[in-house]
Amino acid sequence: MRILLVEDERLIADALKVSMGRAGYHVDWVADGVSAEDALAASVFDLIVLDLGLPGQDGLSSLKRIRGQGRSEPVIILTARDAVENRIQGLDYGADDYMTKPFDMDELLARARVQIRRANGRSRPVLALRNVTLDPAAHTVTQDGRPVELAPLAFQVLSILMERKGRVVTKDDLASCLYGWEDGAESNTVEVYVSQIRRRLGNGFIRTIRGIGYIADKE
C-alpha cells in the first residue's frame, strides 16, 4: 500500500515514514501542496495524509483542488489546528478523517487501515479469500486456520492482491508498492515474492495474467 504524506516538518515526516514503513506501507513524502498535486498526477496512492499548515498553498486549498480534480483517494488530515470549525471545514472540503497533533502513531495507523479498507469496499478488518485470511493489523496469514509464514514483502504482495481481489494488478503497480523497501524493486522482484506465496498457499491462489500481472480470483 502506498501513502502520500504531505507534511512540511521533517521530524514528523521522518517519524511517519519509519512507523508506516514498519506497518507495511510505502510512504512518498512531499513538503507542499504543489508537489502533492504533481505526485498525484504521476502515481496512484491508497491514502493521503495531509498537513494543513504548509508553505505556499494551504493544505485546505490543496484538498479542495484535489477533490475538484475528481480524485477520490481517502484523505486523513493531520494538523495542529484543533478548533472545531477547522475540523468541520476539513471534513466538508472532502477529508475522510481528521487528527490533531500531537497524535498517537498507533491510532493514526489504525485510522489508515480503516480508510484503506473502506476505500476497497470492505467493512471487516480482516481480509478473507477462499481458505486464506490475512490480518493487516496483526500481520498474520492463515490458511484453513493454520498460520502461514511469509517474508514481509511477500506479505505486502499478498495483501495488495487480496485487497483488490477479482481485479488484475499489474506488475508495475506491485513493484511501485514495494519500491523503497528494497533497492531496485522491479518486476522480477515481484515474481520472487509471488513464487514464495505460491509455495506456501498453493499454485492456484494467485493466477498469472501473462504480460500484465496477477489476480487473486474471488472463487
Residue 180 engages Ca ion in binding (rule: CB under 5 A): no
Phi and psi (nearest 5°) for 150? -135, 145
Of the ranges 8-16, 39-47, 86-94, 183-191, which one interacts with Ca ion (CB under 5 A)? 8-16
Q: In the complex with Ca ion, which residue's Cβ is closer, 8 or 135?
A: 8
Q: Half-sphere exposure (CA, 13 Å, Cβ side) for 89?
A: 14
Instruction: Please tell me the distance from the alpha carbon of residue 84 to that of residue 167, in angstroms, as a whole number.
Output: 40
Residue 53 engages Ca ion in binding (rule: CB under 5 A): yes
Minimum distance from CB of 85 to Ca ion (Å)?
A: 18
200 Cβ neighbours under 8 A, 6+ residues apart: 143, 148, 149, 150, 154
Burial class (CB in 10 A: 0-12, 13-18, 19+), 29: middle
Residue 58 engages Ca ion in binding (rule: CB under 5 A): no
Q: In the complex with Ca ion, which residue's Cβ is closer, 10 or 207?
A: 10
Residue 8 engages Ca ion in binding (rule: CB under 5 A): yes
Of the ranges 5-13, 35-43, 161-169, 203-211, which one interacts with Ca ion (CB under 5 A)? 5-13
- Counting residues that bind Ca ion (by CB under 5 A) gives 3
* Window 108 to 167, contacts with Ca ion (CB under 5 A): none
Minimum distance from CB of 99 to Ca ion (Å)?
A: 13
Q: In the complex with Ca ion, which residue's Cβ is closer, 30 or 141?
A: 30
Of the ranges 49-57, 65-73, 105-113, 136-144, which one interacts with Ca ion (CB under 5 A)? 49-57
Residue 51 engages Ca ion in binding (rule: CB under 5 A): yes
Q: In the complex with Ca ion, which residue's Cβ is closer, 33 or 213?
A: 33
Q: In the complex with Ca ion, which residue's Cβ is closer, 17 or 165?
A: 17
**Residue 76: count of CB within 10 angstroms of its CB:** 20
Q: Half-sphere exposure (CA, 13 Å, Cβ side) for 192?
A: 11
Residue 103 engages Ca ion in binding (rule: CB under 5 A): no
Q: In the complex with Ca ion, which residue's Cβ is closer, 22 or 101?
A: 101
Q: Which residues bind Ca ion (CB under 5 A)?
A: 8, 51, 53
